[in-house]
């Protein structure tokens, strides 16, 4: 495996887990036709309609069936088509899957994966473009993953399928065609472990999912201005690698957090709060968090562009972060 796309990595991970463990199965709408983005292409023909299952158009039914199946020993992979549609199954995911292990003293576990394609993509409008990671991180009992690279689309999905807790697996729609190096082994990734995507000494930027690539582009812009940026890809949002972030910021003494999701009450605020509480007296400038404005995602291309944070805005924040405290 020298290189593959984000979508190929995810498809290969699921195929390998279906092959490895007879308890693994997938369910959702139109999986037999490959799914909305062809992330299941060929899997029903290979593994059969009893393991790659087409369901009715009812997210609550899909999630409820998966919770029950997980409780009796299988490992369902639930396809929600779009992250937005998972809101139709919140009770089953939040009140049943996330809480079962706690409420019944560990007697039951719900090892399911909920695949939720997130993010802005091709004028999909307000009901098909949201990034709702802060909703899921807020819920005790849920693990939350957000791969930014093809290697993590592969490794994190494998880790999610093997986890004994319910995992919300956030796959950015705009990343499906992204090509990158494949992992060196077929082992699952480590949950809760971030990645230094670019080492630097002047300022730390923390991002996840598609925002990692915007952060990398912004770091290149800042480098042309003499600013050496360290970029951290969180990879998993719960648990998140606070140790890596704190170690980096302790060195650079500056922090920028970039997310595609709405800035208000977003997960970036949790990162800023954690860093400020731990290192506040050692920071050179105030932390900066970037995110979308608190508006629905527009359908038209100009409105969609206005919603995005983008590399230029991130680069401007990086330059502010290395300015004087008053300017930041």
What are the catalytic residues? 128
- Structure token pair of residue 236: 């998993």
CA distance 136 to 128: 17
* Bridge partners, 172 (sequence order): 118
What DSSP character marks residue 189?
A: P
User: Which of 305, 171, 322, 166 lies closest to 254 in space, CA to CA?
Assistant: 322
Contact predicate 26/39, CB 8 Å: no
Question: Mapping DSSP to helix (H, G, I), strand (E, B) and coil, where does residue 138 land?
Answer: coil
- Is the Cβ–Cβ distance between 192 and 241 less than 8 Å? yes
Q: Which residues contact 224 (CB under 8 A, 6 or more apart)?
A: none
Q: In 10 A of CB 187, how many CB atoms?
A: 10
């Amino acid at each position: 495996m020298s290189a593959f796309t984000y979508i190929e990595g995810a498809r290969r991970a699921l195929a390998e887990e279906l092959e490895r463990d007879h308890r693994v199965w997938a369910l959702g709408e139109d999986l037999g036709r490959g799914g909305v983005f062809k992330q299941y292409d060929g899997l029903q023909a290979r593994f059969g309609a009893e393991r790659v299952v087409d369901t009715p158009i009812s997210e609550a039914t899909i999630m409820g069936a998966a919770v029950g199946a997980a409780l009796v020993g299988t490992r369902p992979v639930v396809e929600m088509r779009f992250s937005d549609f998972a809101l139709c199954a919140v009770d089953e995911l939040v009140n049943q899957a996330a809480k079962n292990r706690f409420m019944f003293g560990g007697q039951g576990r719900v090892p399911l994966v909920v695949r939720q394609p997130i993010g802005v993509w091709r004028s999909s409008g307000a009901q098909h473009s949201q990034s709702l990671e802060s909703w899921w991180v807020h819920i005790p009992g849920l693990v939350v993953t957000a791969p930014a690279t093809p290697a993590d689309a592969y490794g994190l999905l494998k880790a999610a399928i093997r986890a004994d807790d319910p995992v919300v697996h956030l796959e950015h729609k705009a990343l499906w065609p992204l090509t990158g190096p494949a992992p060196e082994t077929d082992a699952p990734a480590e949950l809760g472990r971030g990645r230094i995507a670019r080492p630097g000494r002047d300022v730390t930027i923390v991002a996840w999912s598609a925002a990692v690539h915007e952060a990398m582009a912004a770091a290149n812009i800042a480098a042309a201005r003499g600013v050496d940026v360290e970029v951290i890809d969180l990879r998993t949002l719960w648990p998140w690698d606070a140790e890596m972030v704190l170690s980096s910021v302790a060195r650079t003494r500056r922090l920028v957090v970039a997310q595609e999701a709405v800035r208000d009450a977003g997960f970036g605020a949790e990162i800023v709060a954690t860093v400020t509480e731990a290192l506040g007296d050692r920071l050179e400038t105030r932390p900066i968090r970037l995110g979308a404005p608190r508006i629905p995602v527009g359908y038209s291309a100009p409105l969609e562009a206005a919603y995005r944070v983008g590399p230029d805005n991130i680069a401007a924040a990086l330059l502010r972060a290395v300015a004087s405290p008053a300017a930041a």
